[in-house]
Structure 1
Amino acid sequence: MDTAAERFNRAVGAQIRAEIAAHGDTVKGVSEKTGISRSSLVKYLDGERHIPVSSVYRISSLWALPPEVIVERASERYFLDESQRRSPATVTDLSSRRHDAPPFEVHEERGAAYDQADGEVSDPEEP
């Protein structure tokens, strides 16, 4: 099951990955500078493993960035993702659709005619 804690952990990993890129660093470089194994770091960044607070601290220290800044930015990322996740899907009401439409519609952007009866598209260039 995908819990809120797991989603937040992924947000922290995504934020650290963004910080790595923003500071012109690499995963390999961060791994070497912090002593965190590359495989563990990748799992943290991908949200496959929980990120220890001590690792967030060591990583953020590379850029003289307080660890709470990373967590705060990750929180913004998390709440944005959560709001999009919980927003209701857009539903198109088809009951108000016209049922007396002509049997063909011309799709100008494709230059093709669409036969509403059998759902086939014909190319006007074909004989």
Structure 2
Amino acid sequence: MNADTHVTKRLCNTFGLMETYADRLGASLSRQIRVELTERDMDQADLAEAIGVERATLSRYMRGHRSMPMPTFFRVAEALAVSPHVLLQRAEARISE
């Protein structure tokens, strides 16, 4: 996420402006990954090691400061022993919660 996008997102959050569906899905996916980690008694450091990225990099993905590349998303799903499709379905279901 570039600086302009980050500022726009903050303004949307601050003033209650609508975010895009992609923004909501990204935030929901981060929440779902955290749920999956908790259910497996894992933390972000465990996941980062399992998928071969630095902990700080995973943290930037999870906070929405960087977009997670598709191959990394597939490794996340594999490390969590869930299909990418199911992980996205669960995240999508969270959007309306």
What is the percent sequence identity of the aligned residues? 28
TM-score with structure 2 length normalisation?
Answer: 0.72
Deviation readout 1:36-68 (Å, 9 max, x if unpaired): 221121122122222222112101112321111
- Of Structure 1 and Structure 2, which has the larger fraction of its residues in strand? 1
**2:23 corresponds to 1:14:** no
CA distance in 2, matches of 1:21, 1:27: 10
Secondary structure, aligned partner of 1:58 = helix
Matches within 5 A, 1:54-73: 54-73=71-90
Which of structures 1 and 2 has the bigger CA Rg? 1
Secondary structure, aligned partner of 1:28 = helix
* Alignment gaps of 5+ in structure 2: 1-7, 9-18
* Alignment gaps of 5+ in structure 1: 82-127
TM-score with structure 1 length normalisation?
Answer: 0.57
Supply the AA of the counterpart residue of 1:64.
Answer: A
Runs of 4+ in 1 over 6 A off after TM superposition: none
Aligned partner (choices 49, 55, 71) of residue 38 of structure 1: 55
Supply the AA of the counterpart residue of 1:37.
Answer: E
Give the count of matched residue pairs.
Answer: 80
Supply the AA of the counterpart residue of 2:43.
Answer: T
Matches within 5 A, 1:93-104: none
Corresponding position of 2:41: 24
Supply the AA of the counterpart residue of 1:17.
Answer: R
